[in-house]
Amino acid sequence: MSRFKAVIFDLDGVITDTAHYHYLAWKRLAESAGVHFDQEFNEQLKGVDRVGSLELILAGAARAFSAQEKLEMADAKNRHYQELISTMSAADLLPGAVDALAAVRAAGLRIGLASVSKNAFTVLEHLGIRDRFDYVVDAATVKQGKPHPEIFLTAAERLGVAPADCLGVEDAVAGVASIKAAGMYALGVGSPAVLTQADRVIPGLDQFRLEDY
């Protein structure tokens, strides 16, 4: 028996890895604005929503951009990203993802998804796992991005479970901060040296054991 009543997963970097597609799309946009963009810069964007990521990139530009220009740039980035993810399939699920979802369901717990991506539903459809989640909260559902706790609090509310009874699973620093601010147990996926706020860290969902938390 688990002490939790629900598990709320992040999508990118936990269930699947769309980071490379985001990287390619942001890199093209950054370079069009005259901003150098590499993997190190890309790390700063982990867990940050589209508008916030764009602002971080344009902070290094030689000129200021109008609100309309920013809107057009964000849309252009998203169109490119959507083109890239259109080729995704179940083969893009990270190791252990399906087994982790199955284990949570077998334990009788509710399953939620909390993703700052506005393309979360599209990605889930391509992966073939949309029906695995009881409720999905994406960027279109909330006003505040991570590390604000709104997205995880909203997921808990829609699942009908108190935050204290939820286990949140995240791979980004901002995401872990969001889980903790929501009053949930935070399971980090990645490096303990990076995800220092997490209650526990595993390298990937292939190491997910519900009874351990």
User: What is the band of 145 on the pLDDT scale with cuts at 50, 70, 90?
Assistant: confident
% of the chain surpassing 70 pLDDT: 100
How high is the pLDDT of residue 38?
94
Residue 200 pairs in a beta bridge with: 187
Interval 5-26 mean pLDDT: 93
For residue 98, pLDDT over 90 is answered with yes
State the binding site for Mg(2+).
10, 12, 170-171
Backbone phi, psi, residue 90, to 5°:
-60, -20
- Structural domains in the chain, CATH included, are 6-16+91-212 (3.40.50.1000), 19-85 (1.10.150.240)
| Measured distance CA(73)–CA(81) in Å, rounded | 12
Q: What is the pLDDT of residue 99?
A: 98
The average pLDDT across 161-186 equals 97
Instruction: Give the model confidence (pLDDT) of 68-83 as tens digits.
Output: 999 999 999 999 999 9
10 an active-site residue? yes
User: In the sheet where 185-189 sits, what is the strand order?
Assistant: 135-137, 110-114, 6-9, 166-170, 185-189, 200-202
One-letter amino acid identity for 192? P
pTM: 0.84
**Is 212 a known active-site residue?**
no
**Sequence ranges of the binding site for substrate:** 10-12, 26, 45-50, 53, 77, 115-119, 146
